[in-house]
Amino acid sequence: MQIDRLVAFHKTLGDQNRIQIISMLRHGPLHGQAIAGKLGLTPATVSYHVTRLREIDVIYQRRDKNTIYFHLNEKKLAYMAEAILRIGGDDAMNKQQVDWTEKQKVIRNFFSKDGRLQTIPAQRKKKLIILEHMVDRLEFGKKYPEKDINAFIKQFHDDYATIRREWIMCHFMQRNDGIYELNPKEMWLI
Amino acid sequence: MQIDRLVAFHKTLGDQNRIQIISMLRHGPLHGQAIAGKLGLTPATVSYHVTRLREIDVIYQRRDKNTIYFHLNEKKLAYMAEAILRIGGDDAMNKQQVDWTEKQKVIRNFFSKDGRLQTIPAQRKKKLIILEHMVDRLEFGKKYPEKDINAFIKQFHDDYATIRREWIMCHFMQRNDGIYELNPKEMWLI
DNA sequence: CACCTAATTAGATTACTATCTAATTAGGTT
DNA sequence: AACCTAATTAGATAGTAATCTAATTAGGTG
C-alpha cells in the first residue's frame, strides 16, 4: 500500500456529501438524479463527487437504458478503511530504504572527492543529511573534550563552531561541562 | 455517530504529513522537533498538524520536562476508521433497540434498594446494562484520576478493579497515563 | 529572577476544493 | 434522422487548507 493512495482515500471521504452518498448506496444502487435530489445538489456536482469516489474505487456503475446506477463496492471500502490500522509497521523500513539513494546524492553534492564539506546546506533537510554523515564516524558512548571535537570537525570544514552547534541543536550530541557525547540515534532529528 | 465527526475524521486523515505522523507514532511517542525533522517541516507546521490530529482524538500528549511527547490513541483510531463501515445500514438504528423496561428489570435484580451492586452478572448483556447504569453518573469530558474512579465505584461494589477493567474493555471509558475519561456513547458496547 | 528550550499562536501567502451555470457527449426512442 | 434524457466536462468563483516567518507562551534550570 502506497501512502498516497491511503491519503487520497481519506481525502475523498473527508466530505459530507460523499459520505452521504456512501451511506445512501448502502441501501442499494441509485442513479445520479436521485442522488442529486436527495442531497439538494445539481447533477453536475453529483457527477463530480461520484468521479472522486470512483477514483478511489469504492463505487462502480452499471448502465440500464440511459440511466446509470451507482453501486457501492463494500469490499474495497472495508479494505481501505482498515488500511490506516496497518501502516507504520514495516512501512517505515521501506521509506528508509528509498531515502538512502537520496541521501547519497546530497552527500556527493556537498562533499568534494577528498571528503571536505564545500558549504553547509541552507535547506534544513539537506543540512541534516550532511550533519548525520559527519557525526557517523564518532563513537557512541565515548566522551569527547571540546578540542577533540573541534579537531574532528576541521577534517571536514573550517567552521567547526557552526557544525558543533548544529549537532547540539539537532540532537546528534549533547554537551555536559564542556564534554561532548553522542546521543542515541532515536534522538537525532533525522 | 454524527456524520460530521466522521467527515472531520477523514478530512483530517486526508493529508500526507498527518498520515506520516500516525505512521511514525505507531513505533512509539515522539516530540515535536523530532517530527519536524523527520518530515522536513517547521515546528509551527507540525504544531498545526498535531492540533488537527488531537481534535479528532487520535493522538494525545504527555509532558516530560519541557518536551511534549505525542502518543497515538490506537483504540480511537481503530474505532473511527471502521465507522464508515457501519453508517447507512439499518444496523445503526437497531443497535439502540435494547428495551428500557428490560434494562430496568435487570437493574432491579442486581442492585439492592440501597443502591449497591450485589454481584456482577455473568451474562454479557446484563453485565453491559449494569456497567452502563453505573457509568451514567460520571461526567462526559471530565478527567478522573484512578483513585477517584476507585472511590466512585466503591459506592456500588467493593471489587472496583474488575468494574474499572470492564469499563475499559467495553469502551465506556478510556485510560491515558492513569487518567480516566468517558468515551462518547457511540463507542459503548451497548 | 533571568535565561533557555520547546511549543503554540498570529498573520500572510499560496494552493486546492466544492459548487454553480452553460455547453457537450452518450445512448435510447419514435 | 430528429429528439429526448441523463451524465459529463469546461470555466468561473468563493471558500478552505497548508505552510511559512515572526512573535508569544509555558515550563525548566542555573
Report the C-alpha gap between A126 and A106 in whole angstroms: 7
Contact A20 B3 (CB under 8 A): yes
Q: What percent of chain B has pLDDT over 70?
A: 83
Question: Shortest CB distance from B13 goes to which of A84, A170, A188?
Answer: A84
B88 in Cβ contact with A26 (< 8 Å): yes
Residue nearest to nucleotide D5 (CA to C1'): A66
Helix, strand, or coil here: B181? strand
Helix, strand, or coil here: A104? helix
pLDDT over 80 at A31, yes or no: yes
For chain A, the farthest-separated pair of C-alpha atoms sits apart, in whole angstroms, at 84
Q: List Cβ neighbours of A136 (8 Å cut-off, separation of 6 or more).
A: none
pLDDT over 50 at A97, yes or no: no
Neighbours of B123 (CB within 10 A): 9
Report the pLDDT value the prediction gives residue B72, as an integer from 0 to 100. Answer: 92
Helix, strand, or coil here: B60? strand
Contact B87 A188 (CB under 8 A): no
Residues 5-24 of chain B whose Cβ lies under 8 A from any Cβ of chain A: 6-8, 10-16, 19-20, 22-24
pLDDT over 80 at B144, yes or no: no
Report the C-alpha gap between B34 and A13 in whole angstroms: 30
Question: Shortest CB distance from A84 goes to which of B4, B8, B81?
Answer: B81
Phi, psi of A157 (to 5 degrees): -160, 145
- CA-to-C1' distance for A112 and C9, Å? 43
Nearest alpha-carbon partner for A69 in A59, A61, A77: A61
More confident residue, B148 or B18: B18
CA distance A120 to chain B (A): 17
pLDDT over 90 at A87, yes or no: no
Find the closest chain B residue to A19 by CA distance. B7
**How far apart are the two ends of chain A, measured CA to CA in Å?**
24
Whole-prediction pTM value? 0.59
**What's the number of CA atoms in the CB half-sphere (13 Å) around residue A143?**
6
The grid cell for A89 is 509497521
Report the pLDDT value the prediction gives residue A177, as an integer from 0 to 100. Answer: 56
Report the pLDDT value the prediction gives residue B162, as an integer from 0 to 100. Answer: 85
Report the C-alpha gap between A56 and A80 in whole angstroms: 9
pLDDT over 50 at B185, yes or no: yes
pLDDT over 70 at A121, yes or no: yes
- CA-to-C1' distance for A7 and D6, Å? 32
pLDDT over 80 at B90, yes or no: no
pLDDT over 50 at A37, yes or no: yes
- The identity of residue A138, as a single letter, is L
Mean pLDDT of chain B: 82
B62 membership: H or E segment, kind and range: strand B59-64
Report the pLDDT value the prediction gives residue B186, as an integer from 0 to 100. Answer: 47
Question: CB-based contact (8 Å) between B142 and chain A?
Answer: no
> Could you report the per-residue pLDDT of B44-86, keeping only the tens digit for each?
999 999 999 999 999 999 887 788 999 999 989 999 999 999 9
Report the pLDDT value the prediction gives residue B53, as an integer from 0 to 100. Answer: 96
pLDDT over 90 at A21, yes or no: yes
* Concatenated DSSP letters of A31-99: EHHHHHHHHT--HHHHHHHHHHHHHTTSEEEEEETTEEEEEE-HHHHHHHHHHTTTTTTTHHHHHHHHH
pLDDT over 50 at B94, yes or no: no
A117 in Cβ contact with A106 (< 8 Å): no
Nearest alpha-carbon partner for B134 in B146, B145, B150: B150
Phi, psi of B143 (to 5 degrees): -105, 125
The grid cell for A63 is 448502465
pLDDT over 70 at B22, yes or no: yes
Mean pLDDT of B35-49: 91
pLDDT over 70 at A91, yes or no: no
What domains lie within chain A, and their CATH numbers?
A: 3-83 (1.10.10.10), 91-187 (1.10.10)
Q: Which residues of B touch A172 (CB under 8 A)?
A: none
Q: Which residues of B touch A13 (CB under 8 A)?
A: 7, 10, 14, 84
Report the C-alpha gap between A70 and B53 in whole angstroms: 33
Residue B177 pLDDT grade (very low, low, confident, very high; cuts 50, 70, 90): low
